[in-house]
Structures are given as structure tokens and as C-alpha cells.
Amino acid sequence: EIFPKVQFIVSTHAPAVINTVKSENIILLDDGMAYEPSGEVHGKDTNTIISGIMHSSERPMEIKALFQKFYHFIDCEEIENAEQILNQLKEKIGDDDSEIAGCNVKLKLLKVGRKR
């Protein structure tokens, strides 16, 4: 053995990597403090890792706010405003997002309901 006392330290922010490791092997750093996660991390879904362990949001606030506006316009049956917001969202995050797909369906259902 060339280096018998060598330790490897790996740093990541990838939830898909973090959820493959046991909690006792994770050290969280926050404002100069180091601590272990309070519960088990191994096997958790990535959204739980992002919100519960990393204390972050799955979407930027700007995008969340646009989705909230879209749902508000849908609830108020303001089709044109909902379409504008949905187009803004598609420009920012693409149209292959699962929530965008759901928004497309909601908008189409509202349009069909109005035609009746």
C-alpha cells in the first residue's frame, strides 16, 4: 500500500448522488458549521433531498410565481392571460416540462368548456 492513510473527500450538490449515501457518511456545511443530516438520506427521492436536506426549492422563485399566475388566471377563466403566462413559461423552461404539459391540458379543457 503506497498511501495507507489516505482519505478521499467528495463534494457534491447533486441530489441523485446524495441519496445513494448513508447519512453517517454525509457532512452538511452551512455558514461555517458542519453537521450530519437529522434523518436517513439514503434512498430518498431527489425532491425530498432538495427541499429537506439542501433547504432549496425545486424551482426558482420567478418560475414558481409564473406558475401561480397561470393557475390564478385559469381559476378566473382568463384564457388570454393564462396563454400569455404559459408562453412565457415555455420560453423560460421549455415545453417538455411535466408541469407545462399539465398546464396545456388545463388550458385546453378551459377552452373546450367555454365553447359549450
What pLDDT does 5 receive? Answer: 84
In terms of domains, do 43 and 17 share one? yes
In terms of domains, do 42 and 66 share one? no
In terms of domains, do 18 and 68 share one? no
In terms of domains, do 70 and 17 share one? no
In terms of domains, do 72 and 53 share one? no
In terms of domains, do 50 and 3 share one? yes
- Please give the share of the chain, as a percent, with pLDDT higher than 90: 55
In terms of domains, do 42 and 67 share one? no
* Average pLDDT rounded to a whole number, residues 36-47: 90
What pLDDT does 84 receive? Answer: 98
CA atoms within 13 A on the CB side of 23: 11
Q: In angstroms, rounded to a whole number, what is the distance separating the alpha carbons of residues 69 and 78?
A: 11
Supply φ then ψ for residue 40, to 5 degrees: -70, 140
pLDDT digits (tens, 9 = 90+) for 91-105: 999 999 999 999 999
What pLDDT does 11 receive? Answer: 77
pLDDT digits (tens, 9 = 90+) for 1-19: 677 888 777 777 888 888 9
pTM: 0.64
Q: Structurally, how many domains does the chain consist of?
A: 2
Amino acid identity of residue 60, one-letter, is P
Domain extent, residue 82, equals: 61-115
- Please give the share of the chain, as a percent, with pLDDT higher than 70: 98
Helix (H, G, I), strand (E, B) or coil at 35: strand
On average, the pLDDT of the chain sits at 90
* Average pLDDT rounded to a whole number, residues 84-94: 98
In terms of domains, do 52 and 75 share one? no
In terms of domains, do 65 and 82 share one? yes
What pLDDT does 52 receive? Answer: 85
Amino acid identity of residue 101, one-letter, is A
